[in-house]
Structures are given as C-alpha cells and as structure tokens.
C-alpha cells in the first residue's frame, strides 16, 4: 500500500476552503485538542460509536479557511488474527500456527469507530493523525490511514507531533505537520505478528497438554504463553527460589560506644572489618580489646555532603515510585497518567527520557505551580534563584520527561495523588541538592605496639560518622517520599586518648533477599529489555490474571504452584527442566533490540 506524504505547510496549493478529518487516539484527547484549536467554539455531534464523539470547528491554517472534523479511535483499531480455518483449537497442530496465514482486521467491538471514519472521510480532502507520538501511536495512525484509504485512496495524509496537550504544543503541531513513519509502524506489526504466532502456538500446546495431565485441576484454566509474560514470570520464580533455598549464616561483630557529657553526647563506632563469620576469631579480637581498652583518635575529617535531588521522571521511574510511595500498581498508575495527560494536566506519560532538552522553557511550568498553596513558596523561591535541572543520560528523542503542565487543585482520589507525586518530583529535580557536612572519626583500639607484627597487637580501627544538614533544598518539597536525617555525635580531636564506655560483641545472621515487589519487577524488566515502558504494566497484570503469581502481604509477588510448574517443573516438566530458555530474558530482549534497529 502506498501512503501519501504531503506536508500541510503547502495547504495554500489546495482549495481555499477544505474539510479536514482529524483522528486522535482517545475521545478525551480529541475533545481537548478540538477545544484548543477551535478556541472553545467547537460543536459536538454523535458518531457511530457512542464512546467516540465528533467535534467540528473552523480555523485558518496557512492562510486557508478549513473546517476541522475531530474524532478518535480507542487504541488499536485493527488486530492480527489467523484466517478462519486456523482459529479453532482443534483445527490444526499448534506447530502449523507458525506459518498459518493471518489477516489484520477490525474487531466487532470497534466496528462503529470504523464506520465513523469511513463515513467522515468521504466528505474530507485531508486527514491529520493526532495519535500518541510513540511506536504504538504510529501504528494506530497507520491503521486509521488504512481504513480511510479503502474508501478514499486520494486522501492527503499528515501527522501531528506533540508531547503534551497544551495550546502552545498543539498549535505548534498543527503548524508543523509532518508524515507518519512507516518503519516504526512496521516494527510494531512485526512484533504483533510474532506475539500472535508464538503466543497462540505455545498457549494451545501447553493448555491442551496440561489439561490431559491434570483434567480436574485445569478444567477451566487457560494456560497462556507470551514472550514477555514468561520472562516476567521467570523473574518472580527466580527470586522465590533464592528466598526458599537461602540458608542463614551466623556472623559476629564488635561495636564501641563512647559517651560524653552534654548534648550530642553519644557516639557509636563501627568495626572497619564489618563482620566475621568465625566466632572464635571474633572472640579473640573482643577479648584483646577488653584487655587493652585504651584507644586513640587517629583521623578526624569534616567534608561537605550532598543528597542528590532526583533525575527527571521517565515512565519506568513513575511506575516504580507509584508502586513504592503510593501503593498504586503499575497498571493503574499508567491509566491514571494517561487520564491526566488527555486532560492536559501532565506531559505525555510514555517516555524513556530523563533529561530536559535545552529548548524546553521550564520557567512557565514552575510558574503554573505557584497557584498551589502546598508548594507555591517553594516554586517562587526557585523561580527567583534560577532553575538548574539535574539531568540524566537517557533520551528517546521523542518526548521530554514527565512533568506537570498546569495546577491540579481540582483533582481527586488517586489522580490527585499521582499528580502530586509528578509535581513534587518535577519541582525537586529543577531545584538544588540537599547540603550538609559529614564528620568522620576513626578510633584505633588495642594497639600494644605500633611495630607489632600481629594484627591483634597492631590494633583495630573503628569508625563513627555524624551528619549535620545545612540546607534541605529539594527535600522541602520532596519530603513525603524521601528523608535525610541528621546524626549527631560529640566532638573529637586528633590524637585524643579515649576510654570507651562499652566494647560489645554481638551476634547476627545473614537474611534472605526479599521477594520481588512490583517496583522491583519493573526495574528488572527495564534492565533486561523485557517489553517497553508502555507495556511493563500489562505484562505484570497478565501473570496476575492468569494466576501464575499472587500477592503476599499485599506487596510481594509469589509464584503459584502453576507458575512454578511452568518454569521449574515441580509437578510436570517445566521449561527450565527441559533446558529451554523461554522463561529467561535473553530471547525477548534480543527481539526488542532488533525491532529498534
């Protein structure tokens, strides 16, 4: 299929008055874009879908008067499926699905949207795609083009690119229209086709196979497979194995306490050796120190100490923070973020960028936050002092980090909580690091002779650290999510002789790692390239919905018996026991890299 690629800066070449069909990815986005471009004068009428309205308004574009017709889809309009003869589970061997013919068609659910597009495009000479500016959005835009060109092949097609639904961004987009990137869309098609073929073949194979082995237990169970879903499950199983197989190991350590009169009178010195796993050896050191309980201060240093403000927020960081700080799951966090975006409260929430571009003017974004009494003083302070964002090293060359666009004082519930997190994070990263001073004191104990060859007689070093905070800076606004506590201790002088008040040997034991939280799992998926920032949440949700994992203490992910069996093979031959790497991250990670190449 041939796609036309005109740029709308050439509008003056066409008729003086044109009818232009505009298609956004969601109805809320269409409504808000129409409100901006129509300057509040857009009229609404019904389409074939009751969820996707049509908004009409007139506007001048490059000297031409145009009637803009704005509507929307609801995500992907078309989906891959096997041809009819391969759709039934008993119609073929699962292996045949790797080569079976497939079609891309509109599902029954979205037929009303398709009919709206076909009806409206007949009356239009131009089509502008306003879908989200990421890989999925590019593919959805191509799907809209495909539907429209079936009805009107001569339609002129353009692409609006934007990262936020604000008057400035939308006006800039409509005045600088570009073209769809077919290669990006084709990469999504390739991934969708692979996911369909691999997922369907393995799902049918393992479901039918396991139901024969466990007819009662799995009578109504779909044992699905996905090339992102299984590595995600694999991470949970691997951590569970580590916890279950962990054997605590005892250790011993020595601490020294020095108490002085007055305020800040207590200092705890930690052994520089840390801990020993040999009790007899630690006891020998302890007894030697008790026999030689005089020490000397051999090092006193005070140096500036900073606590770094956060990096600008990308999607993965938003999902992790929402999970850890707000106890909001990744799926809900993305839904909330998308809602805030389409309402114009935040920038585009699907981004891999953690560095603000130089051309982005941060001042009006901070000025907008002076309307909120919770952080208005903080915003005014750094507007006066100057904005110096801390920047990371990641950029997807498409969207800036997630940031607030306007005050959110009217928001409620979890939308308000997520907006507050995003706003406090943004204000924190454009302010300054917290500043303080750290004092390090080293105490040499048990030194009988400075020339002694024995480690016992040459003495043991203990260290204490104190911290005084001078300026909290970013923590003034970020305090609900991060803290920095002072550690007071008495003053010491170099060469000072010390008689400790307590020389204590204590016993402890190593502890198992924690089971994975959702935030931990997202971090692993991001590290190993499983899925994208846009799909992490849905993969985690899938393994929950399939009952492959459950939650312990409403926080930790635990594999079910079925989940363990699929990966490890406790009751039947799992993939690991067959030496197949389908639950390992390497296969999917390599695919994601290839799709970006």
Positive or negative, the Cα torsion across 105, 540, 238, 587? positive
| SS3 (DSSP) at 460 | strand
Q: Name the burial class of residue 496, with classes exposed (0-12), middle (13-18) and buried (19+) by CB atoms within 10 angstroms of its CB.
A: middle
597 CB neighbour count, 10 Å cutoff: 5
552 phi/psi in degrees, rounded to 5? -110, 130
Strand partners of residue 71: 23
Spatial CB neighbours of 493, under 8 Å, sequence gap ≥ 6: 297, 300
Could you please report the per-residue DSSP string of 104-151? EEE-GGGHHHHHHHHHHHTT-SEEEEES-SSHHHHHHHHHHHHHHHHH
- The torsion region of residue 75 among left (phi > 0), alpha (psi -120 to 50) and beta comes to left
By the 8 A CB rule, do 162 and 133 touch? yes
Give the C-alpha separation, 81 to 86, whole Å: 9
> Rounded distance, CA 128 to CA 435, Å?
50
From residue 540, give the alpha-carbon distance in Å to each of 28, 172, 546: 26, 37, 10
Active site residue 478: no
Catalytic residue from among 225, 348, 382, 478? 348
SS3 346: strand
3-state secondary structure of 516: coil
| Beta carbons within 8 Å of 527's beta carbon, 6+ residues apart | none
Start-to-end CA span in the chain (Å): 23
Closest CA to 72 of 123, 106, 21, 37: 21
- Where helices occur in 496-547 by DSSP H, the ranges are 518-528, 536-545
Residues 147 and 117 sit within 8 Å (Cβ to Cβ) = yes
Output the six-digit token pair for 289.
Answer: 């120190």
Phi, psi of 444 (to 5 degrees): -95, 120
Say how many C-beta atoms besides its own lie within 10 A of residue 381's C-beta.
16
Return the closest-CA partner of residue 159 out of 176, 137, 178.
178
Catalytic residues: 348
């Amino acid at each position: 299929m041939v796609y036309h690629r005109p740029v709308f800066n050439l509008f003056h070449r066409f008729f003086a008055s044109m009818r232009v069909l505009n298609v956004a990815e969601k109805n809320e986005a269409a409504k808000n874009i129409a409100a901006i471009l129509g300057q509040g004068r857009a009229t609404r009428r019904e389409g074939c879908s009751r969820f996707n309205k049509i908004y009409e308004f007139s506007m001048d574009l490059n000297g031409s008067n145009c009637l803009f017709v704005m509507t929307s889809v609801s995500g992907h309009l078309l989906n891959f499926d096997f041809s009819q003869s391969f759709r039934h589970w008993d119609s073929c061997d699962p292996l045949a699905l790797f080569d079976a013919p497939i079609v891309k068609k509109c599902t029954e659910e979205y037929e009303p949207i398709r009919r709206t597009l076909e009806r409206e495009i007949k009356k239009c000479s131009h089509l502008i795609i306003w879908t989200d500016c990421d890989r999925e959005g590019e593919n959805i835009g191509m799907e809209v083009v495909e539907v429209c060109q079936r009805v009107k092949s001569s339609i002129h097609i353009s692409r609006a690119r934007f990262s936020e639904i604000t008057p400035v961004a939308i006006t800039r987009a409509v005045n600088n229209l570009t073209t769809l990137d077919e290669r990006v869309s084709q990469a999504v098609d390739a991934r969708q086709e692979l996911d369909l073929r691999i997922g369907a073949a393995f799902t049918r194979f393992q479901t039918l196979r396991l139901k024969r082995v466990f007819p009662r237990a799995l009578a109504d169970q779909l044992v699905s497979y996905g090339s992102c879903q299984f590595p995600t499950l694999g991470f949970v199983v691997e951590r569970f194995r580590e916890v279950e197989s962990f054997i605590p190991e005892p250790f011993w350590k020595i601490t020294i306490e020095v108490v002085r009169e007055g305020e800040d009178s207590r200092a705890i010195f930690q052994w520089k050796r840390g801990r020993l796993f040999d009790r007899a050896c630690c006891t020998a050191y302890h007894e030697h120190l008790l026999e030689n309980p005089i020490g000397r201060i051999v090092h006193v240093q005070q140096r500036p100490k900073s606590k770094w403000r956060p990096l600008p927020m990308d999607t993965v960081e938003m999902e992790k923070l929402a999970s850890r700080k707000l106890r909001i799951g990744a799926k809900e966090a993305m839904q909330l973020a998308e809602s805030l975006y389409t309402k114009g409260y935040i920038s585009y929430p699907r981004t891999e960028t953690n560095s603000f571009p130089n051309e982005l003017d941060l001042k009006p974004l901070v000025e907008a936050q002076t309307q909120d009494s919770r952080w208005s003083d903080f915003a005014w302070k750094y507007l006066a002092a100057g904005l110096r964002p801390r920047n990371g090293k990641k950029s997807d060359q498409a969207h800036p980090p997630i940031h607030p666009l306007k005050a959110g004082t009217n928001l409620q519930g979890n939308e308000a909580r997520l907006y507050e997190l995003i706003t406090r994070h943004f204000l924190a990263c454009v302010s300054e690091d917290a500043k303080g001073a750290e004092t390090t004191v080293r105490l040499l104990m048990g030194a009988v002779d400075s020339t002694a060859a024995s480690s016992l007689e040459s003495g043991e070093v203990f260290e204490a650290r104190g911290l005084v905070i001078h300026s909290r800076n970013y923590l003034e606004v970020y305090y609900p999510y991060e803290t920095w506590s002072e550690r007071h201790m008495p003053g010491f002088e170099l060469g000072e002789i010390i008689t400790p008040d307590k020389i204590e040997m204590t016993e402890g034991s190593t502890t198992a790692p924690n089971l994975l939280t959702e935030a931990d799992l997202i971090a692993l998926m991001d590290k190993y390239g499983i899925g994208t920032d846009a799909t992490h949440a849905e993969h985690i949700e899938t393994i929950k919905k399939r009952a492959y994992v459950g939650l312990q203490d409403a926080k930790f992910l635990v594999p079910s018996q079925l989940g363990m069996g699929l990966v490890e093979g406790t009751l039947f031959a799992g993939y690991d026991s067959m030496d197949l790497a389908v639950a390992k991250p390497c296969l999917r990670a390599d695919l994601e890299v290839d799709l970006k190449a």
